[in-house]
Structure 1
Amino acid sequence: MTTVTARERLIHAAVEAFAEKGFAATTTRDIASRAGMSPAAVYVHHDSKESLLFTVSLDGHRAALGVINRAAASSADPVERLRTMVYDFSLWHADNSRVGRIVQYEYHALTPEHRAEVATLRRSIERTMQDALADGVDQGVLDVTDIPGTAFSLLSLGVDLVRWFEPGGSRSGDELAALHAELAVRMTAVRPKPA
Structure 2
Amino acid sequence: MGAQRSALPDLVDDSPALWDEGFGKAARGLLTGGVRCFAAQGFHATTTRDITAAAGLSPAALYVHFSSKEEVLFEITRTGHKSSLDVLTLVPPDTDPATHLRGLVAAFVSWHARHHVAARVSQYELGALTSEHYEVIVGLRRRSTSVFHDALTHGITAGAFPDADAHRVVRAILSLGVDLVRWYRLDGADSPEELGEYYADLALGMVAAAASRRAR
**Structure 1 residues without counterparts, runs of 5 or longer:** none
Aligned with 1:31 (options 51, 56, 63): 51
The answer to whether 1:142 aligns with 2:161 is yes
CA pair 159-10 structure 1, distance change in 2 beyond 3 A: same
Q: Distance in 1 between matches of 2:119 and 2:54?
A: 20
Q: Distance in 1 between matches of 2:186 and 2:160?
A: 35
- Once the two structures are TM-superposed, the CA of residue 4 in structure 1 deviates from its matched residue by 6.0
Q: Distance in 1 between matches of 2:194 and 2:163?
A: 26
- Once the two structures are TM-superposed, the CA of residue 95 in structure 1 deviates from its matched residue by 0.4
Contact 1:97 1:162 in 2 (8 A): yes
Amino acid at match of 1:117: V
Match of 1:42 in 2: 62
Alignment of 1:45-60 (within 5 A): 45-60=65-80
Residue-pair matches, total: 189
Amino acid at match of 1:22: G
Contact 1:133 1:144 in 2 (8 A): no
Q: Distance in 1 between matches of 2:40 and 2:206?
A: 36
Aligned with 1:160 (options 179, 184, 188): 179
Amino acid at match of 2:76: V
Q: Distance in 2 between matches of 1:171 and 1:31?
A: 31
Contact 2:76 2:122 in 1 (8 A): yes
Q: Distance in 2 between matches of 1:110 and 1:144?
A: 38
Q: Percent identity?
A: 41
Partner SS, residue 203 of structure 2? helix
Match of 1:78 in 2: 97
TM-score by length of 2: 0.82
Q: Distance in 1 between matches of 2:196 and 2:124?
A: 21
Q: 1:39-89, CA deviations, whole angstroms, 9 ceiling, x for partnerless residues?
A: 211111111111000000000000011112222x34232110011000110
Q: Distance in 2 between matches of 1:4 and 1:115?
A: 25
CA pair 147-37 structure 1, distance change in 2 beyond 3 A: same
Q: Distance in 2 between matches of 1:53 and 1:5?
A: 17
The answer to whether 1:129 aligns with 2:148 is yes
Partner SS, residue 95 of structure 2? coil
Amino acid at match of 2:60: A
Q: Distance in 2 between matches of 1:159 and 1:74?
A: 23
Amino acid at match of 2:106: Y
**Structure 2 residues without counterparts, runs of 5 or longer:** 1-20
Partner SS, residue 135 of structure 1? helix
- Once the two structures are TM-superposed, the CA of residue 171 in structure 1 deviates from its matched residue by 3.0
- Once the two structures are TM-superposed, the CA of residue 18 in structure 1 deviates from its matched residue by 1.2
TM-score by length of 1: 0.90
Q: 1:114-155, CA deviations, whole angstroms, 9 ceiling, x for partnerless residues?
A: 111100000000011000001101110012421121111111
Q: Distance in 1 between matches of 2:152 and 2:66?
A: 40
Q: Distance in 2 between matches of 1:187 and 1:104?
A: 23
Amino acid at match of 2:80: G
Aligned with 1:98 (options 108, 117, 127): 117
